[in-house]
Structure 1
Amino acid sequence: MSEDVILKQSHMVYSSPYVGVEDRTYSHKGREYRYQVTTLPEFSVVGAVTKGGKILIVRQFRPGPGHFTYDLPAGMIDPGDTPAETAAKELLEETGYSGRIEPVTTTYVTAYSTAKKHIFLAFDCEKVAEPEEDPGVIGAPLGLERDEFKALLRSGEMLDLDVALILAARLGIPF
């Protein structure tokens, strides 16, 4: 907690292995504040570029929007794994590529979530395997040219836009 903000009560409204909803009441200077907070696991996201300069993304059906969107390789951190190990593992599983992983930063996903997003970039990526089949995922990896990636950034269909913009800045792609 920070300063004089006190957690008065907390109640789990819903819980599954992937997401929870917690009802929290805080007190600050004699006043109560009630919030609903999503509890999510930590995860890693990686913006990746091949040795040939293609930007690796994943086109996936997403149930929230109800249609296909574009993501960067990402996944929840398994017990015992580090965020960097997860970034490398997800890059390989989702695209079949492996490369030099560089840490960028860690941030919270939103102000109303416990989830931390660990951001990485990967360079000099080479294809070393076929992407793994995941029974819970409808999608496929893509390799985009710089101009295609720039257009995608402006399309409104790119999830993990913060990480994609960090990658674009690092590659000198103006937005």
Structure 2
Amino acid sequence: MTSDGVAGWEQVGEDRPVYAGYTRVVRRRMRQADGRESDWDLVESPDSVVVLALTPARQVVAIRQFRPGPDRVMPSLPGGLIDEGESVLDAAARELLEETGYVGERWDVVTRTTPYKSTESRWVTVAHDCLRSAPQSLDEHEDIAVCLLSLAQLRDELRSGGFGTTDQAYLALDHLGLL
């Protein structure tokens, strides 16, 4: 039990696959402290990483791509899944290079978030002094345009409600003292 009196729950049995397509959904049976049990559907996903990349001129390297969920092109920070055995920083550097062609001179791991409907951890990183060094190297299902945003433009995008990685961007800006 935590100091505020909230008890943890216990997993009962193994996760059961419910759906396995591009996204995998599992059903997890949980037992509350009072003995009641209930099933919870969770998105099962590898960990991911998002990069707030700053150029020497303090511009943010952002991307724009179509997202099927909202059914539109959305701006966001670059990022993606962390491959098995890959470190957070190696994945961040790989994703930044693949999606944008930029490399960072210096890196910070800011934090990780854990969405309550998923098994995934989402890592937030910052890359400093980023320069374009190569062409994009996109996966077969990626169609990404790179755009540079001033910090003011990034804040405007975040306030608009249409930015794809809002939580991670705010955490990175807070880390940098730029809120």
TM-score (norm: length of structure 1): 0.89
Residue 98 (structure 1) aligned with residue 136 (structure 2): no
* Aligned-residue offset at 1:9: 5.5
Q: Deviations over 1:55-85 (max 9, x none)?
A: 0111010000000111111111112311110
* Aligned-residue offset at 1:144: 0.7
Could you list the runs of 5+ residues in structure 2 that have no partner in the other structure? 1-6
Residue 27 of structure 1 is matched in structure 2 by 31
RMSD: 1.8
Residue 44 of structure 2 is matched in structure 1 by 39
CA contact (8 A) 2:54 2:128 kept: yes
Residue 143 of structure 2 is matched in structure 1 by 138
* Aligned-residue offset at 1:3: 4.9
SS in structure 2 of the partner of residue 59 of structure 1: strand
Residue 61 of structure 2 is matched in structure 1 by 56
Q: Structure 1 residues 4 and 137, CA, compared in 2 at 3 Å: closer, same or farther?
A: closer
**Equivalent-residue separation in structure 2 for 1:146 and 1:105 (angstroms):** 20
TM-score (norm: length of structure 2): 0.87
Q: Deviations over 1:126-160 (max 9, x none)?
A: 11111223320122111111221121111111111
Could you list the runs of 5+ residues in structure 1 that have no partner in the other structure? none
Q: Deviations over 1:89-148 (max 9, x none)?
A: 11111111111111111221x112101111110111111111223320122111111221
More strand by share: 1
Stretch deviating more after TM superposition (130-139 or 163-172): 163-172
* % identical equivalent positions: 34
Aligned length: 171
- AA aligned to 1:106 is R
